[in-house]
Amino acid sequence: PEEELLLGKSTLQSIGVDLDGVFEQLAQQHIEAAEFEADDIPCEHMDVLGNSEDNEVDTLLHNMVDEAIQAGFEPAMADELRQMVLEYSDVFRVRLGRDEAADVQPLEVRLESGVQPYRSGVRRYPEAQRQFLREYVRELEDAGLVERNTQSRWACPALPVAKRGTDEFRITIDYRPVNRLTVPLAGAAPNLAVVTESVIDGAGVEHDPERLAALRQMPLPPTGAALQHFLCALNWLRDSMVDYARTTAPLQEKLEHVMQSRGRRKAQLSGAVVEWSKEEAETFRKTLEMIERSCKLAFPDKRATVCLFSDASLTGYALVLTQVLNWQDGVPVEEQQHELLICRGGLFKNAQRNWSIVEKEGYPIVKACGDLDYMLTHLHT
């Protein structure tokens, strides 16, 4: 029988055996073997889209239009919608291919000085996610978008996310560790709530009636967190409501008072019970009435006559911008057919309270010329 000899780590190191290095090589060999055994993706899927895939894209677009009609889209406009999406079918892809690179300026990310490279450790994934990652990375490799680099000093973890209602995944990367080490970039991000919570038609934009009905039926917020949530939701409506700033000022002051006493974090505000006086409850009721008076915002028309109405008091100001498509000479301005473009307003603070009446009256006009110049630069203003 063979005899077994057990050697400790210190003994192996003394004779020049790097145990950690051996384990790392074994692990790398296992990963490469598993990837080699993975099913290959047919190479024809990696080519630039051909006629067969063009037909597949068209079929999917037709199905999407049909689903939109079933969901309530106007059938009379279905043909126009179908023609529009098929006109730009070349921008859609069913899978990655060797298409030309996008003609955009490369994004430059600069690291902060003296930072250490971040490399994610080994992670374990369920078999379904491992299979998805193998196929996804192989697809990127075949398309020439990535290449293997086992010596990279930077590596962030891949986080496959399940698609709702299916057994498929989408890829996400946790870039947060690296983002903490980069110089921040200033930029704007689109907020989908502006679109998804609004109803857009050919005449203009108005907020979802169901959402407005839910806000109008809200009881007095019992906690600081509930009051903050109400005011944040209400803020999306301010461009369609006249006298928003003055009406909601007492509610804003109440929230600020709660934050000063309990803190500004959501968890702290959740436990802050709010007590309402009769005057404050009346302010909340007036705010709900103001929601009912919110108006549809029309699309700016270059052919229309733009009208600017402004007013100011000792404590605040307001301005309303409208347009008249068919201006009637000899008819008073208040009797013209106005379409609302936007409402703005605010309160005078600090040194602004000491301005003269003339300065306060002129302030909303100057502010409109600065903030709303894109709407005011018309021939018929």
pLDDT tens for 300-316 read 888 889 999 999 989 89
What pLDDT digit, counting tens, does each position of 112-134 carry?
A: 999 999 998 888 899 999 999 99
Q: Quick one: pLDDT at residue 379?
A: 44
The total number of residues written for the chain in this structure: 381
pLDDT of residue 360: 92
| Strands across the sheet containing 338-347 | 305-312, 316-324, 338-347
Q: Give 88-116 pLDDT, tens digit per residue.
A: 888 888 877 777 777 888 888 899 999 99
Shared domain check, 309 and 281 = no
Q: What is the mean pLDDT of the chain?
A: 81
Q: What is the pLDDT of residues 336-379, one digit of tens each?
A: 999 999 999 888 988 998 999 999 999 999 999 888 888 887 54
Statement to judge: residues 166 and 210 lie in one domain: no
**pLDDT classification of 264: cutoffs 50, 70, 90:** low
Residue 288 lies in a domain: yes
pTM over 0.75: no
Does position 160 have pLDDT exceeding 90, yes or no? yes
Kindly state whether residue 263 falls inside one of the protein's structural domains: yes
Range name among 3-17, 170-184, 309-323 with the lowest pLDDT average: 3-17
Distance CA 369, CA 381 (A): 12
Q: Pick the residue with more confidence: 53 or 160?
A: 160
Q: Confirm whether 272 is domain-assigned.
A: yes
Q: Average of pLDDT values for 11-25?
A: 67
Please indicate, yes or no, whether residues 281 and 353 belong to a single structural domain of this protein.
no
Is position 47 within any domain?
Answer: yes
| Residue that wins the pLDDT comparison between 36 and 90 | 90
Domain count, the chain: 4
Q: In whole angstroms, give the CA distance from residue 139 to residue 50.
A: 17
CATH (domain of 309): 3.10.20
Q: What is the pLDDT of residues 193-204, one digit of tens each?
A: 554 555 656 667
Residues 257 and 220 in one domain: yes
In a domain, 235, yes or no: yes
Query: Is residue 220, in this structure, part of any structural domain at all?
Result: yes
Residues 249 and 279 in one domain: yes
Contacts with 220 (C-beta within 8 Å, 6 or more apart), sequence order: 274, 276, 281, 284
Q: With cut-offs at 50, 70 and 90, classify the pLDDT of residue 36.
A: low
Asked whether residue 316 falls in the same domain as residue 356, the answer is yes
pLDDT (0 to 100) of residue 50: 43
Q: Is the pLDDT of residue 31 over 90?
A: no
140 class by beta-carbon count within 10 Å (0-12 exposed, 13-18 middle, 19+ buried) = middle
Residue 20 belongs to a domain: no
- Residue 82 domain flag: yes
Mark whether 365 and 304 lie in a shared domain.
yes
Predicted pLDDT of residue 378: 58
154 versus 49: the higher-pLDDT residue is: 154
**Secondary structure (DSSP) of 247-312:** HHHHHHHHHHHHHHHH-SSHHHHHT-B----HHHHHHHHHHHHHHHT--PEEPP-TTSEEEEEEEE
- Is residue 48's pLDDT more than 80? no
Range of the domain at 131: 127-179
Which is more confident, 257 or 189? 257
